[in-house]
Structure formats: structure tokens, C-alpha cells
Structure 1
Amino acid sequence: MSDLAVAIARNWIGTPYVHQASARAAGSDCLGLIRGIWRELYGAEPEPVPPYSADWGEMGRTEILLRGATRHLVALSRDAQEAPGQVLLFRMREGAIAKHLGLLVQLGERSSFVHAYSGHGVIESSYSAAWRQRVVQRFRFP
């Protein structure tokens, strides 16, 4: 399953960034990428997605994205080994709610993940120490 999720994610590379969209080659944001991988793995999405802001620095008490991911994905323990195919949830600013997602696609010297963000679209980025320190939770697809 993880190899298939990685292949699907890489097929989305080059998709333009469009907030709240989830259409390969047409437009997607980070949640839209994970939703698209889900649809290719399982078919229909498990629940409708409510409107949300694009602000990575959004403050609040309710971790909406973390709750949603926990409902539909399998949360991994902090000591679980990193592996390609895992969904990464990031907190981009101290004190902000977790608002960014990506899919780990490669480990080792060239560790990388696929994600989408404004101005870049869906891309594969280095999974550097700066990104690792922002990870709030890792998940796997069920």
C-alpha cells in the first residue's frame, strides 16, 4: 500500500496550487493531495471537507486537521520508524494549529516528501531537519 501511495503522490507533482481543490493536474492544496491519494486507494472520501482557511499561522484551540486525520488514518507512535507512504502533519508556526500535510516518499540521504503549497503547487521537497522538527503527527493509510 505504501509503494502505491508514493506512486500516486508523485503522479500529482506539477499540479497547480488551488486552495480547497483536489483535482490532479487541475488544482490542489495539501489536503487535496491527501484526499486525492485516498480516492485512488479507496474510492469515495469518508466525509465531506468543510471550508477552511489557507493560513498556516492560524491560531486556535481546535486541531481540526489533526482530528480529521485521526478519524480516517492510522496514527503512528512517536517511536514508530519513518517509512515512505506515511502522511505527515506539520505545525508551521509555534502556537498555531497544525495546517499542512505531505506524504513521505523517500528516506536516506535524499529523504523527501510530496506536498502542495501556494506559489509552488504539488512538489517533491527535501525532508530536511527544518521540516522534521515541524511534524506534529505521522499517519499511515488504513
Structure 2
Amino acid sequence: MVERADIITEARRWIGTPWRHQGRSRAGVDCVGLVVLVARTLGLKPEDVTGYARRQDGRALLRHLHKQLELQPATDWKYGNIGVFKESAFPIHVGFLSERDGVPTVIHAHARRRQVIEEALDPYGTPFAVFSFPEVL
């Protein structure tokens, strides 16, 4: 079994990796690619979907997440969970929920900053939805 701490440790190894739409390597990742590659590195087998638009369809993203992950309470998330965030009322972004020195953070591939970063969760607010891999303790 994979532990939540393993997810955060691996996600942090990706910090500084360039952002690239539909990227799936150390040369560049997007937010979905980060989740897929962190999971695969830990021996999990998420189904990957590519071919989505730069501004993806939030309904398709949620359907895909519901299909293979477990929905968790958004107000009681745990580090290592995957947060889904809205932009302009549409759920289009994902990242790993974490904390550093007691401050809630999110580790994600940030398009505007052009890389994977860890930053305070507060500016993003409570995630729209929260998921976890079924195999994670």
C-alpha cells in the first residue's frame, strides 16, 4: 500500500519541472500529468487521458476522476488527497493537497508560472471536490 506521505514526497520531487500542456515527462507536465506520473512512480495504475483542450471540459474531468478515484469530503481533506479547483465556475484544475509548517498547501503544475510549484492553499480556497486513490492509506 502507498501512504499519503509517499505521495507528497514524490510530488515535491517534481517541483520546478516545467509546465507543458498534456506533458507526461520530466521535460514538462500539466496538472493532470503531474497526478498521473506521481501515481505511476508509486506503483499505482491510473488511467490516463490525453487529447483534451488547453481549457478542459470540467464535466469530463470530473467523470474521469469519479470513475477511478474515491470522493472525499472537501472540507475534511487529508494531505496526499487530490484537490479539484474551479476557474470561472468550472472545475478545470487539480493538485495534491499538502501542508508545510502547519500551513495548508497545494502542489500543482501552474500554467501561468510555467512550472510545478507548492504554494499556500488559502488563495484558492476550499477545493471544489477532493479525491483519493483507493490504494492509499
Runs of 4 or more consecutive aligned structure 1 residues displaced over 6 Å after TM superposition: none
Identity of aligned residues (%): 28
What is the TM-score of this pair, normalised by structure 2? 0.85
C-alpha distance in 2, partners of 1:34/1:140? 11
- Structure 2, unaligned runs of 5 or more: none
C-alpha distance after superposition, 1:110-136 (max 9, x if no partner): 2111001224210001110x3124x22
| Among 85, 88, 93, the residue aligned to 1:90 | 85
Judged with a 3 Å threshold, the aligned counterparts in structure 2 of structure 1 residues 71 and 42 are, in CA distance, closer, same or farther, namely farther
Q: Is 1:72 matched with 2:68?
A: yes
C-alpha distance in 2, partners of 1:13/1:78? 24
Which residue number corresponds to residue 39 of structure 1? 40
Judged with a 3 Å threshold, the aligned counterparts in structure 2 of structure 1 residues 78 and 43 are, in CA distance, closer, same or farther, namely closer
- Structure 1, unaligned runs of 5 or more: none
C-alpha distance in 2, partners of 1:22/1:93? 26
Which residue number corresponds to residue 130 of structure 2? 138
Which residue number corresponds to residue 113 of structure 1? 106
Which residue number corresponds to residue 121 of structure 2? 127
Q: Is the 8 A contact 2:17 2:29 kept in 1?
A: yes
Which residue number corresponds to residue 6 of structure 2? 4
Q: What letter matches 2:119 in structure 1?
A: S
C-alpha distance in 2, partners of 1:34/1:70? 15
C-alpha distance in 2, partners of 1:63/1:85? 23
Aligned length: 131
Q: Is the 8 A contact 2:22 2:50 kept in 1?
A: no
Structure with higher strand content? 2
